[in-house]
Amino acid sequence: MNNTVKMEFYDRFRCIADKCSFTCCQNWDILVDEDTLGKWKSDEKQSEAFCKNVKSKKRNRKTEYYIKMNPRKGCPFLNEKGLCNIVISNGDEYLSKACRAFPRQENNFGDLDEYSLSCACPAVVDIIYNIDGTVKFLHDADDNLMDNLLPEYKIREVMMSIMQNCNFSLTDKILLTFHMLLSVKEEPGMAAEIRKKYQSEEYLSSLTGIWSGIKIDNEDSFQETKELFLDIILNYKKEMTFRDYLQGIADLAEDEEIDDNLFLTQWNDFKMEFVQYEKLMENCIISKIFANCVSEDIDEMLLAFQVVITEYIMVRYSVFLKSLLEEKYCNESQPQTTKKVRTNNIIPYNITRDYIVIYSRIIGYNADGIREFWEDSFEEAVWEFGYMLLLIN
Ligand code: SF4
């Protein structure tokens, strides 16, 4: 036994390098670990070339080293063919650990190692898109080890089993998972009983039955989504890397000339059409829960889950706006009032994939920033159930 749990497609990942439309060598703070820095400093021939592209930063009273990005926020080692000069001159082993690992993610729970891949890489999203059914995880671990894992690990197991349940819609599964986490937060001493309840199909159906009777105001839900979207992209829409993806849709969301009723109708139609990507979105959510949603602190688990769901909400709303913009170009010759009406219901896959990648980078890799934003915006960073219901509707 290797005592590992791996995403089923983990070993299938291959970087597509110069064919990648979203290189990971841009727009990040790329950490240079001390081992790699040592190797670079002691390289007789290229020490200067390596080290002039490294900067230091103080973080939590510790000095950390990063690649000094060029004015276009790209890695200075990336050549014009989209290939890495460090790999070309010295091989993979000269890369920093962060570069070598991405998009691979590893978690350790005592003797158990877990391996997953990040949706911040478009090649990973392509693999997930081509999965038939629900993403699976390959267990190669001793039963005793699995049985003795910490309670928070078991909570995550129930989160995953709810999300993998084929008998509920994606919306219901998100609500059920969030509801379970809130219940554990409220009664931490009852965590084992709560976990058991949320494994019962009958109990889950009784909850979704109650929620289906709650009338959500579509307009409130739409406005809330729009506000969240505008707040989140505020700092990114002008950045070079994301400008082409975010500026146009932000302008559209803020356009005061748009007929609100028409916009709302289009949004409601779009949500039904977006069901064609429900399996993809669901598998991305499951992958992110597996990689990120486990902590001894239930508040941390809730916040990590909120981050994952915020990414989903932003992807859905951004794809909606983008598809309206694309339609606008098709209908340029038509009268003003019909310009932003969607005329077909085919949502291109590449648009959906690009926004999954973008939000995985700007939200998923900036979880601390988004938590601060919630702390500033609400009384408590953990959402109320009603807010989730409104956003996810
Ligand atoms: S984002 Fe993925 S496919 Fe693109 S360069 Fe990075 S690892 Fe390779």
pLDDT digits (tens, 9 = 90+) for 31-83: 999 999 999 999 888 889 899 999 998 877 789 999 999 887 889 999 988 88
Q: Tell me what pLDDT residue 241 has.
A: 73
| Structure-token match 């240079």, residue found | 32
Confidence of residue 338 (pLDDT cuts 50, 70, 90): very low
Find the angle CA(26)-CA(30)-CA(32) to the nearest 5 degrees.
145
Average pLDDT over residues 305-317: 97
Omega into 103 within 30° of 0, i.e. cis? yes
Q: Is the CB of 13 under 6 A from ligand 1?
A: no
How is the beta sheet containing 104-109 ordered, strand by strand? 104-109, 112-117, 4-7, 137-140
Ligand 1 center to 123 CA (angstroms):
7
HEC profile of 169-226: CHHHHHHHHHHHHHHHHHCHHHHHHHHHHCCCHHHHHHHHHHHHCCCCCHHHHHHHHH
Q: Is the CB of 324 under 6 A from ligand 1?
A: no
E strand segments, the chain: 4-7, 31-32, 54-59, 62-67, 104-109, 112-117, 137-140
Q: Tell me what pLDDT residue 332 has.
A: 43
Q: Is the CB of 360 under 6 A from ligand 1?
A: no
Q: Is the CB of 102 under 6 A from ligand 1?
A: yes
Nearest Cα neighbor of 30 from 75, 72, 70, 60 is 75
Q: Is the CB of 24 under 6 A from ligand 1?
A: yes
Ligand 1 center to 111 CA (angstroms):
30
pLDDT digits (tens, 9 = 90+) for 250-279: 999 999 888 888 889 999 999 999 999 999
Say if CB 176 and CB 204 are below 8 A apart: yes
Average pLDDT over residues 213-227: 91
Over the chain, what is the mean pLDDT? Answer: 89
Ligand 1 center to 13 CA (angstroms):
10
Distances (CA, A) of 189 to 99, 165, 302, 337: 42, 26, 17, 58
DSSP state of 264: H
Q: Is the CB of 129 under 6 A from ligand 1?
A: no
Q: Is the CB of 20 under 6 A from ligand 1?
A: yes
Phi-psi region of 53 (alpha: psi -120 to 50; beta: other; left: phi over 0): alpha
- Which protein residue has the closest C-alpha to ligand 1 atom 8? 15
Confidence of residue 95 (pLDDT cuts 50, 70, 90): very high
CB burial string 58-94: b at 16+ within 10 A, e below: eeeeeeebbbebeeeebbebbeeeeebebbeebeeeb
DSSP 337-352: GGTT-----PPPHHHH
Q: What does pTM read for this prediction?
A: 0.89
Q: Tell me what pLDDT residue 55 has.
A: 93
- Which protein residue has the closest C-alpha to ligand 1 atom 7? 15
Crossing angle of helices 298-330 and 151-163, in 10° steps, is: 30
DSSP 268-309: HHHHHHGGGGHHHHHHHHHHHHHHH---SSHHHHHHHHHHHH
Q: Is the CB of 123 under 6 A from ligand 1?
A: yes
Nearest Cα neighbor of 301 from 166, 151, 189 is 151
| Structure-token match 């978690």, residue found | 107
- Which protein residue has the closest C-alpha to ligand 1 atom 2? 121
Q: Is the CB of 16 under 6 A from ligand 1?
A: yes
Average pLDDT over residues 174-181: 98
pLDDT at 319 over 70: yes
Q: Tell me what pLDDT residue 342 has.
A: 52
Residue 301 and residue 290: Cα distance in Å, rounded?
11
Single-letter amino acid, residue 124: V
